[in-house]
Amino acid sequence: MAESFTDIPERGGHGSHSKAGHVPVLLKEAIEFLAIKRGGTYIDATVGLGGHSLEIAKRLGGQGHLIGLDKDPAALEIARGKIVVGRSSLVVGQEQEDWPTVELIHGSFADFANDQRPRTNDEFGPYDGILVDLGVSSLQLNDPARGFSFQAEGPLDMRMNTQAGQSADQVVNQLDEVTLADLIYEFGDERRSRRIARAIVRSRPIRTTAELAKIVSAAARPMNRAERRIHPATRTFQALRIFVNSELKDLESLLNAAPQLLKRGGRLVIISFHSLEDRIVKDKFREGAQQGLYRLLTKKPVTADEEEIAVNPRSRSAKMRAAERI
């Protein structure tokens, strides 16, 4: 359901919270690569806490249009508030004239694979740019009740959209051992997936994040110094989250649809946080360039500098790639 705002517009999915407020990852770089046109139409496919959206809206002007999507209704509420504050901070008297139309939509960016908005022609779509900030936000990670983190006791949920879909509890307690092992290996790149799946099945029922983390840690003890750098449950929790939220499937759907969504000269900017996502984006961009659909704007992924990492340690794993429709 879309909500239109004439008095409003964030994602910054892996941003951090500080005294200065939410800090979106690679904000400056994302805005630069989007090359925002005043009066243009843009999609923030993962609104999150609203940081990226707010900066896009500031540059669009009154004739502009921003569409923000997120699976998480709680994130949309926070983004709505940030957008209202952002608009009210404009110079009095310029507010109505300078602020774009903003739509916040509760849903997945994969839905745009079937977008039916009017197109300029059969080849190009109506959008000047699409920004995608993948993964989990600090809002989700820091709330034990959401079940994303093994660092606090909470229910096994992990759904970005808490109103629909299969929870991690159902996956962990209902899938057969082979299927469970396969998804932990595929989405978590976990070499000990079969041992972990066996331990999970033997320990059922498992109801909390702490229970699951303890079981996985016992089954996947670090064997060397390199493995001790990350918690033994990290890859398993990543795999479950990706599976529960259909993250890679949704990403592929958007990447397949993007050439038909973008205008000529439109920009696609994607920020990913693990190798599975980055590999999909890199391969799809390279394929598009070979087909004459894209001009690649990033030969190598853009990463956070030392200053940003110091403010937001989660940005260390961020990789941004950008391409232009031709």
Q: Which of 190, 211, 244 is the last residue of a domain?
A: 244
Average pLDDT over residues 173-185: 98
> What is the predicted pLDDT for the residue at 10?
29
Average pLDDT over residues 124-143: 89
CATH of the domain at 178: 1.10.150.170
**153 — pLDDT class (breaks 50, 70, 90):** very high
- Looking at the structure, tell me whether residues 175 and 309 fall in a common domain: no
Q: Could you report the per-residue pLDDT of 13-34, keeping only the tens digit for each?
A: 445 444 334 579 999 999 999 9
Q: Which of 244, 266, 291 is the last residue of a domain?
A: 244
b (16+ CB within 10 A) / e for 107-140: ebbbebbeeeeeeeeeebbbbbbbbbbbbbbbbb
The pLDDT of residue 277 is above 90: yes
CATH of the domain at 47: 3.40.50.150
Q: Could you report the per-residue pLDDT of 50-92, keeping only the tens digit for each?
A: 999 999 999 999 999 999 999 999 889 999 888 877 777 664 5
Average pLDDT over residues 176-202: 97
> What is the predicted pLDDT for the residue at 314?
84
Average pLDDT over residues 304-309: 96
Residue 147 lies in a domain: no
Average pLDDT over residues 40-44: 97
The pLDDT of residue 121 is above 80: no
> What is the predicted pLDDT for the residue at 3?
35
Q: Could you report the per-residue pLDDT of 214-250, keeping only the tens digit for each?
A: 999 999 987 666 666 789 999 999 999 999 999 999 9
Contact predicate 21/101, CB 8 Å: no
Look over the chain and give the mean of its residue pLDDT values, rounded to a whole number.
87
Average pLDDT over residues 90-111: 77
The pLDDT of residue 5 is above 70: no
Q: How many CB atoms lie within 10 A of CB 28?
A: 11
The pLDDT of residue 158 is above 50: yes
In degrees and rounded to multiples of 5, residue 241 shows phi and psi of -60, -45
Average pLDDT over residues 266-295: 97
> What is the predicted pLDDT for the residue at 4?
35
Specify the number of domains making up the chain: 2
Range of the domain at 10: 2-139+246-325
- Looking at the structure, tell me whether residues 20 and 93 fall in a common domain: yes
Average pLDDT over residues 269-286: 97
- Looking at the structure, tell me whether residues 235 and 259 fall in a common domain: no
- Looking at the structure, tell me whether residues 215 and 286 fall in a common domain: no
**194 — pLDDT class (breaks 50, 70, 90):** very high
- Looking at the structure, tell me whether residues 215 and 281 fall in a common domain: no
- Looking at the structure, tell me whether residues 43 and 98 fall in a common domain: yes
Distance, in Å, from the CA atom of 52 to the CA atom of 272, rounded to the nearest integer, reads 15
- Looking at the structure, tell me whether residues 126 and 261 fall in a common domain: yes
The pLDDT of residue 144 is above 60: yes
Residue 35 lies in a domain: yes
For residue 58, give the amino acid letter: K
Residue 191 lies in a domain: yes
Residue 206 lies in a domain: yes
Predicted TM-score of the model (pTM): 0.88
- Looking at the structure, tell me whether residues 287 and 189 fall in a common domain: no
Q: Which of 208, 224, 244 is the last residue of a domain?
A: 244
> What is the predicted pLDDT for the residue at 326?
97
For residue 23, give the amino acid letter: V
